[in-house]
Amino acid sequence: MFEIKIKDFLGRIGVLDTPHGKIETPALLPVINPNRLLLPVSRMKEIGAEALITNAYIIYRTPHLRERAVDVGIHRLLGFDAPVMTDSGSYQLSVYGDIEVENEDIVQFQIEVGSDIIVPKDIPTPPFSPRDRAEKELMTTVRNVSEAWEMLAGLSNRPLLASPIQGSTYPDLREKCARMLRGMGDIFPIGAVVPLLENYRFKQIAEIILHSKMGTSTCTPIHLFGAGHPMILSFAVAFGCDLFDSAAYALFAKENRYLSPHGTYDLSSMEYLPCACPICSTHTAKELRESDERERLLAEHNLHTAFSEIRLIKESIREGTLIELVQQRCRAHPRLLDALKIALSHTDIIDELSPQRRSSPFYSGPESALMPEVRRHQKRLERLEVGKNCIIFTTHPASTHPELSLKDFDSVFILRAPFGPFPPELAETLPVNTVHVSGDLEAKHKALEGVVYLVKNNPDTLFTLVLDREWLDIAKQRLNGLDNVEVWGEENG
């Protein structure tokens, strides 16, 4: 049902089978309001939509839409012959506190209208709610998922079930919910994150994604509900999300906001359009502002931007450079960069799920020192035989200390940030052949962690370190108290 084709970091390109065809992930599903179609569905498909999502509750509560949906099906109602996902009304529940439909009824309605991906009635507990409320509503969601799963059992060519992971901003509750839902669903959406996205609470989003991933099977697709801004997409994909839905393309257009992978612009103050989509390449900022079709045109640009970012993410996964794209995107907002550092600190899940790199890592900033390739390299140091005396250098000692001959040492290592020490024979191999920044303090500290690790694992070995001046002060701090280390700088000592 879900086949993973290519993996990079925690991101993957996959294929999801549905009754109305395949969806290649990562995928963005534009939200369709059948009462107000800002863009023709046919145009959305041309721009890149492989699937759509619409609100089953709105259709259910609107008599003429409900009658037609039951009569001709959801696909003919929308004029879309590819996969359609239907939501049960959780957005209305989050806004109004209640919806006038039972779980069994809304699930049965979604089955009747031929939805490809069904969502049961879940309870979107707001961020930072009391823990007891989050636990209680989580259990309600799990019961509703279980009921929906039983309703789908035995159906021929059955729709997929999207089983929402709830738990507010409590990471352990998200993980608990995900574990309880195992075996009851085909897709696992992470719900109730839109308020966090709107308030740039990216650190909380990172924690929620990773703890939800910890509770799910590694081969199941993860959907991040309500995330459609191109700025967040690469980050979410890199940490394990496969599907996205959003009405942002339309909502932002209504508010005169212009989406880009680097953030959001106010069209009213723009002089130039920094995009080459069909809208931006045929309009100036002034023409777009003054157009009678401004909202539709801006919505189309916003959708182009989101799908362009999805395609770039896929190509980055294929090339093995997804995390470098994430590092670029995270520099668009300081809170997003902080979230990246928080996410990278979850070494347990990252080391377990991320594959070996297929390309040379590119050192893009201090957070690159936190990458799994660095930890894996330093872990290998425990298997190295170093003998009775070992030399580690940043610059070959022949140029600064001719009295030191490499032949006098049992083992020789090069020191390179952020990886640490490695034998010269590996200098042109992955991952140590990275492009690195010599002056980055975080990278040097990480490299010296590897030295400390090697020294402590070999207490009977005498280590001689020959270091450039820029390494000396840091090295003396990190190696202080280690009696079997002698540090040489530009002058002995």
Q: What is the pLDDT of residues 205-242, one digit of tens each?
A: 999 999 999 999 999 999 999 999 999 999 999 999 99
pLDDT band at 297 (very low <50, low <70, confident <90, very high): very high
pLDDT at 362 over 80: no
Residues of the chain with CATH 3.40.50: 366-488
pLDDT at 435 over 90: no
Confirm if 237 and 11 have CB atoms less than 8 A apart: yes
Contacts of 348 (CB under 8 A, 6+ apart): none
Indicate the residue type of 27.
Answer: A
- Domain 2-353 maps to which CATH number in 3.40.50.720, 3.10.20.440, 3.20.20.105, 3.30.470.10? 3.20.20.105
Contacts of 241 (CB under 8 A, 6+ apart): 26, 190, 209, 222, 223, 224, 227
Query: Percentage of the chain surpassing pLDDT 90?
Result: 78
Q: What is the dihedral of CA 180, 186, 192, 198, to 10 degrees?
A: 140
pLDDT band at 491 (very low <50, low <70, confident <90, very high): low
Token pair belonging to 355: 């594959």
CA distance 473 to 376: 26
pLDDT at 92 over 80: no
pLDDT at 312 over 90: yes
Residues of the chain with CATH 3.20.20.105: 2-353
Look at residue 187 and give its three-state secondary structure: strand
Query: Percentage of the chain surpassing pLDDT 70?
Result: 97
State mean pLDDT over 392-397.
90
Residues assigned a catalytic role? 87
CATH number of 366-488: 3.40.50
- Tens digit of pLDDT for each residue in 127-148? 999 999 999 999 999 999 999 9
Q: What is the dihedral of CA 96, 97, 101, 106, to 10 degrees?
A: 90
Average pLDDT score over the chain: 93
> 258 pairs with which residues across the strands?
265
pLDDT at 172 over 60: yes
pLDDT at 438 over 80: no
CA distance 84 to 86: 7
pTM, to two decimals: 0.92
Return the exposure string of 420-447: e unless at least 16 CB atoms fall within 10 Å of the residue's CB, then b: bbbeeebeeeebbebebeeebebbbbbb
pLDDT at 493 over 50: no
The pLDDT, as a whole number, for residue 97 is: 66
